[in-house]
Amino acid sequence: MRWIDVSEQGEAIAWASGAHLPFDPPDILRQLTQLLPGRFPPLEARQRIANRRHADLKARYFREISEYSHENRQIERRIAIEIIRKLKGLFLYYPDAQFLELPIRELEGHGRIRWREDFLGIFPSRSNHYENKYFGFDYLRELSEIRMYRDTRQQWMEQVLYQIGVL
């Protein structure tokens, strides 16, 4: 299922590659899960796609963002925001708590990007870092939303099961 990616809204989309594919991968996956549910269970297909995309995003995070926060500039912040939003989309596609571990750790201040503004350059405050507004990102709102996803995982799984027709 290398041709299928997951959007930030949690929908299956065609992998964004340079070449245009002559077929629609999400539609083919939907047809396979409808015609051959024994061989391609819809929930297992979603799980495998989500796990593969999670591994890709995690590798990108560790490869492109420096572990030293003073080296991370606006480009790294943009990449981290993209990864956080994609991981939220993965969770909406297949609700698994492991997809939210990296965003929670990052937004709570234990990651590689400094999301908070420092008062007088020394004391951490609760205000948003000034570079976050360039990307329309409020780390407190995002952290609150991700924690809500984590706490209501069972309801999100029920919604996914309704979407694929199991319930």
* Domain map (residue ranges) of the chain: 4-164
pLDDT band, residue 16 (cuts 50/70/90): confident
How far is Cα 149 from Cα 156, in angstroms, rounded to an integer? 8
Task: Tell me the angle at which helices 153-164 and 74-93 cross, rounded to the nearest 10 degrees.
Answer: 60
How far is Cα 167 from Cα 159, in angstroms, rounded to an integer? 9
Instruction: Tally the C-alpha atoms within 13 A of residue 98's C-alpha that lie toward its C-beta.
Output: 10
Q: Which amino acid is at 158?
A: E
- Please list, in sequence order, all residues whose beta carbon lies within 8 angstroms of the beta carbon of residue 85, skipping any fewer than 6 positions away: 8
Q: Is the pTM of this model over 0.85?
A: yes
pLDDT single digits (tens) 110-149: 989 988 877 776 767 777 888 889 999 999 999 999 999 9
- What does the mean pLDDT of the chain come to? 89
How far is Cα 47 from Cα 54, in angstroms, rounded to an integer? 10
